[in-house]
Chains A and B, each alone.
Chain A
Amino acid sequence: EDQVTQSPEALRLQEGESSSLNCSYTVSGLRGLFWYRQDPGKGPEFLFTLYSAGEEKEKERLKATLTKKESFLHITAPKPEDSATYLCAVREYGSSNTGKLIFGQGTTLQVKP
């Protein structure tokens, strides 16, 4: 069964304390892996798409990487405004249903000043 698992479920950091979030996936074929940020009461905000193992994407303090079985979201010197839930999702290869993403349960990040 296709699934996406994120760890840890919750993460508390001090401002400036770098860390990584993990997303492990099991799908028959990966067409794309997506990272989203979700603030309380809001919809997910798109961050990155990764397509193949070895690929990396960066945006400000965030860097996403991809291997054949997992993806990492590295947060360098985080600030309190980086506090949010980070969601990982995958799109399966070969599916004509391009609107379907399989999401993990998310990692809730809290950055304290």
Chain B
Amino acid sequence: DAGVTQSPTHLIKTRGQQVTLRCSPISGHKSVSWYQQVLGQGPQFIFQYYEKEERGRGNFPDRFSARQFPNYSSELNVNALLLGDSALYLCASSITGGAGAYNSPLHFGNGTRLTVT
């Protein structure tokens, strides 16, 4: 079975530019979450989407936005890139986003490595 797929795998951007990262969840999973992982640190929560609605947002500036499509895939957009945005961006999916999701682990993709120069 295909796991969570993310594209692109690597990306190099210049300060001030905008970037869009893409994620396809595991088949049957309706919830997608985005995380940022800086080198040497654990992942930090950015967003969760379930049934195309935002269910949660972490402590990130408004330059970060996301959306979920009818097929449950998702995009993460980052505007006005800063050097500090350089990180591994991880997408995770889970079966549900409602009350039953408390028992559902997150399954992660291999991420998009973003480098801002």
Contacts and interface: CB of A to CB of B under 8 A. Distances in A.
Interface of A: 4, 31-32, 34, 36, 41-46, 49, 51, 87, 89, 91, 95-106
Given A43-B90, A99-B31, A103-B42, A32 B103 contact: yes
Given A34-B105, A89-B42, A98-B97, A43 B48 contact: no
Interface in B79-115: 90, 92, 94, 96-98, 101-111, 113
Given A31-B102, A98-B48, A43 B56 contact: no
B103 A49 contact: yes
B58 A100 contact: yes
A49 B55 CA distance: 22
Nearest to A102: B45
B4 interface: yes
A99 B33 contact: yes
A101 B90 CA distance: 13
Interface of B: 4, 31-33, 40-45, 47-50, 55-56, 58, 90, 92, 94, 96-98, 101-111, 113
B50 A44 contact: no
A96 B97 CA distance: 8
A26 B94 CA distance: 24
5 residue pairs, one from A and one from B, having the closest CB atoms:
A99-B48, A103-B42, A97-B56, A99-B33, A43-B108
